Amino acid sequence: MRPTFALALGLTLSVGALSGPLAPVVHAAGASDTDQERAQRWQEIAKSIFGDRKIEPTDTLVKIEAPKRAEDAALVPITLSMPDRGTVKSVSLVIDDNPAPYAAKFEFGPAADTSELKLRVRVNNYTDMHAVVETNDGKLYEAKQFVKASGGCSAPMGMSDEEAMKGMGDMRMKFADAQAGKPVEATLMIRHPNFSGMQMNQVTREFTPARYIEKVTVSAGDEKVFTMTGDISIASNPVINFGFKPDGKPIQVAASDNQGGHWARSFNPPSPTN
Amino acid sequence: MAAEAVRPVGRMLAGSRTVSRRHALFGGLCLCCLATAGLSPRAYAESFTMEEAGPGIFIRKGLIADADAENLDAIANIGFIIGKSGVLVTESGGSLADGQWLRGEIAKRTDKPITHVVLTHVHPDHAFGAGAFVADKPVFVGHAKLREALDARGEFYRKRLADLFGEEKTGPVVYPTMSIADTGQIDLGDRTLTFTAHGPAHTTSDLSMRDSASGLLFPADLLFVERIPSLDGSLKGWLKELERVKASGATQAVPGHGPVRVDLAPAMADLTAYLIALRDGTKAAIAKDVSIDKAVDTVAQDQKDKWKLFEHYNRRNVTVAYQELEWD
């Protein structure tokens, strides 16, 4: 356990200079931490993000589904279920022991169907994950899930930086079959390496600077579905599954990264079948 | 067939065969499980044997297990070929300790110099024994892409192995000194080794070798037998490169994992069946909008009883295949 602890510490220090839109909290964490240590860390993180606002536990407003033990620490699929449609204003995903724990925040608009949201993240250490929803009446609720994985933020991409950046900003969207009057499930894919700043360049032997998707806004016609604020914990080539209420107008996607990259695309959802 | 051609020659103290879900899935760079793998007090309890897979060809069957503190990553088939002018190491071992053991086995059988060490690809179970041969000043033979692959991952692997069993037993990252971009040859006096550098397949640095004296093919981890293949390069590329392996005309091979010598055709057929099940199952999942977290539980399940360590690697393979195929 100790060597892993030391390694995690080293990585944490190496990204101390990182700054993202979601303020990183830097601390050392280990796989062997007690529940109490984890709980205390979460309190610190929660305070840095939500201030002194009270966060109540919930079993119903949000649920996190994640593999108990990740197959690939650099691509851990997460499902956030928020079945009470229309009550959730935003959801924040926090990976407590990642170097930048605040992984993503989704702010929903009127065209959103929040019942199921999927994304892929990096996990750097055995960690608690927290999902915090803010309801429309301004209250905060949290759910927790423990995940075993390590090295996800620093795992090399297995290709050159140039290769990893090929087609950066390309987007695709897939739609599930639409039924009249029902929300539609869609999958947004964005080509982007989402460099974490912790991966070593193969040629220069220096850390590739963090370059990650910072903001993604998805709208159905004039109505917002969601805005995602992201950080280095999002896996490369981000894929987001979400639900929306179709009104026949195209889906607009705008994405930008922390180095000034900006991309936009429009997709035509399928016409509803009766 | 292999069993008859083979006689046990040497023995060593080696790792216990304990397979635990905790162990690192090094083959596929899955390091999720390492955090709990610490040194265990359990002593080595089993012995390895060196088998003669052909005339002057000695191979040690690797454990069908993941790297851990006890087995010192001795999980790949490693060995050497004795030629007239010197010794060529076919695979170096999974750690400095594993390589040192191999070097001892060579010394028991010949006093010829170790002139060549082949680094068949970037994975630690094949590359980290190389440190044991540095003092012999051999030619380290590798794929033209091996250097950059080691640049990207070598240090990462080294730290993970050191976490398992300490720096001293892990050894350094050793780079190739002879780089093969397409094909190449090495003449050992009475036999010639012909190398082929493959496109992205099992990894992005796969090198295969053919021995002129025995006709044996050394496909390294392009060929898995018994142990489930691990995908870390390109699924489509691997299937393509297998066609090249078939076209070599070899009938028998020394696989990277599994028995030390197998008939090539049936072994290739089993491997191809798995890769096709993985490809087609993943493609079907993507087409039906089955998300990656669901696909890992459903794809290639009909292959489950055909491979050891299936539970350790199949989900990981699906994860890799999904990312490759979802942008098609």
pLDDT tens, position by position, B217-228? 999 999 999 999
Is it the case that residue A5 has pLDDT exceeding 50? no
The more confidently predicted of residues B154 and B197 is B197
Is it the case that residue B6 has pLDDT exceeding 60? no
The more confidently predicted of residues A5 and B196 is B196
The pLDDT, as a whole number, for residue B152 is: 78
In Å, how far is A113's CA from the nearest CA of chain B?
Answer: 18
Give dist(CA A104, CA B60) in Å, integer: 49
In Å, how far is B262's CA from the nearest CA of chain A?
Answer: 30
Test A73 with B31 for CB contact under 8 angstroms.
Answer: yes
Q: How far is CA B315 from the centre of its chain?
A: 20
The pLDDT, as a whole number, for residue A203 is: 63
What element of type H or E holds B119? strand B114-119
pTM for this prediction:
0.81
The pLDDT, as a whole number, for residue B37 is: 35
Test B292 with A185 for CB contact under 8 angstroms.
Answer: no
- Which domains are seen in chain A, by residue range? 2-267 (2.60.40.2470)
Poorest-pLDDT segment among A27-36, A42-51, B258-267: A27-36
B163 chain-A contacts, CB cut-off 8 A: 3-4, 7
B38 chain-A contacts, CB cut-off 8 A: 1-3
* pLDDT 10s digits, A125-151: 889 999 999 999 999 999 999 998 877
Residue of A71, A118, A205 lying closest to B315 (CB–CB): A71
Is it the case that residue B18 has pLDDT exceeding 90? no
Chain A contacts in chain B segment 77-106 (CB below 8 A): none
Is it the case that residue B261 has pLDDT exceeding 90? yes
* pLDDT 10s digits, A186-214: 999 999 999 998 887 656 767 888 999 99
The pLDDT, as a whole number, for residue A273 is: 60
State what percent of residues in chain B have pLDDT above 70: 86
B204 chain-A contacts, CB cut-off 8 A: 158-159
Poorest-pLDDT segment among A9-13, A159-163, B3-7, B248-252: A9-13
The more confidently predicted of residues A5 and A192 is A192
The pLDDT, as a whole number, for residue A202 is: 59
Is it the case that residue B32 has pLDDT exceeding 60? no
Q: Measured between CB atoms, does B36 come within 8 Å of chain A? A: yes
Q: What is the dihedral of CA A254, A235, A231, A243, to 10 degrees?
A: 50
Mean of the pLDDT values across residues B110-120?
98
- DSSP letter (8 states) at residue A134: E
A172 chain-B contacts, CB cut-off 8 A: 327
A77 chain-B contacts, CB cut-off 8 A: 291-293
Residue of B21, B35, B155 lying closest to A150 (CB–CB): B35
Give dist(CA A121, CA A93) in Å, integer: 10
* pLDDT 10s digits, A89-116: 999 999 999 989 999 999 999 999 999 9
Q: Measured between CB atoms, does A169 come within 8 Å of chain B? A: no
ipTM score of complex:
0.77
The pLDDT, as a whole number, for residue A231 is: 93
| Token pair 């992005």 in the structure block, residue | B204
The more confidently predicted of residues A18 and B307 is B307
Is it the case that residue A11 has pLDDT exceeding 50? no
Q: Measured between CB atoms, does A72 come within 8 Å of chain B? A: yes
* pLDDT 10s digits, B163-184: 999 999 999 999 999 999 999 9
Residue of B160, B232, B319 lying closest to A75 (CB–CB): B319
State what percent of residues in chain B have pLDDT above 90: 80
The pLDDT, as a whole number, for residue A274 is: 53
The pLDDT, as a whole number, for residue A23 is: 43
Q: How many CA atoms lie within 13 A of A249 on its CB side?
A: 13
Bridge partner residues of A185 (DSSP): A243
Chain B contacts in chain A segment 124-143 (CB below 8 A): 125-126
A67 chain-B contacts, CB cut-off 8 A: 293
Mean of the pLDDT values across residues B29-51?
45
Give dist(CA B33, CA B120) in Å, integer: 25
Give the number of beta-carbon pairs within 8 Å between A and B.
Answer: 104
Give dist(CA B185, CA B218) in Å, integer: 14
The pLDDT, as a whole number, for residue A197 is: 86
Structure tokens of A186? Answer: 């869609």
Q: Measured between CB atoms, does A145 come within 8 Å of chain B? A: no
A63 chain-B contacts, CB cut-off 8 A: none
Structure tokens of A33? Answer: 């931490």
- Which domains are seen in chain B, by residue range? 2-225+252-263 (3.60.15.30)
Q: How far is CA A18 from CA A13, A29, A156, A197, A198, in A?
A: 10, 18, 18, 8, 10
The more confidently predicted of residues A13 and B26 is B26
